[in-house]
Chain A
Amino acid sequence: KQEVTQIPAALSVPEGENLVLNCSFTDSAIYNLQWFRQDPGKGLTSLLLIQSSQREQTSGRLNASLDKSSGRSTLYIAASQPGDSATYLCAVRFINQAGTALIFGKGTTLSVSS
């Protein structure tokens, strides 16, 4: 069964800290991996998309890496700000014949204090 796991489930840091969120997946035969941000009661905002052939993607203070062989991805947030407080979801599109649906982790809820 294809599963996505995120560690930690929750994280609290003071403003300005650099932090790493972890995502692991059970099947290395992935098509791509997306990191999303979800604010309470809201929909999803796509942060970064990494194709299976890529090793990392960067957008502003965010950097996502992908190691297919070990089944891991990390989201690095530099110089965290209170506005970064949200739940961060990792989602994987596994190669299959059923379509392009994503399998999500449960997320890491980040709280950045000022």
Chain B
Amino acid sequence: GAVVSQHPSRVICKSGTSVKIECRSLDFQATTMFWYRQFPKQSLMLMATSNEGSKATYEQGVEKDKFLINHASLTLSTLTVTSAHPEDSSFYICSVPTSGGTNEQFFGPGTRLTVL
């Protein structure tokens, strides 16, 4: 399966700052990556679909101007939380769907964002 890394694993920032989270597919070229968010004791919720070479597709209720996604290459997608506020504190996790017969999804280790 695909090996997916995320950086940073944990970030604490002040309200109003912007935070960039990187998702890398280490051994698989991914034209699509997914960004999920998980609040405490809640399920993972899809935020957006990152598409290499084109605009990301956002789920209903997710502000595209606040959560900027850039899929710069087949191995890297970045999520930037702009002007972060305490309510943005969450666990952000990306996934890479593999193509072929199984279409299995492999997840990164996640990034814990805490906005003070």
Contacts and interface: CB of A to CB of B under 8 A. Distances in A.
A43 B107 contact: yes
Interface residues of A, number: 25
The DSSP consensus for interface residues of chain A is strand
Interface string A35-48: 01000011110100
Given A41-B112, A46-B1, A107-B43, A102 B105 contact: yes
A105 B43 contact: yes
B8 to A, nearest CB: 13
A88 interface: no
Interface stretch (B14-22, B63-71, B80-88, B96-104): B96-104
Nearest to B91: A41
B62 interface: no
A99 B104 contact: no
Given A42-B110, A46-B106, A89 B44 contact: yes
Given A43-B109, A43-B110, A44-B93, A102 B46 contact: yes
Interface of A: 4, 31-32, 34, 36, 41-44, 46, 49, 51, 89, 91, 93, 98-107
Interface of B: 1, 6, 32, 34, 36, 41-46, 49, 57, 91, 93, 95, 97, 102-110, 112
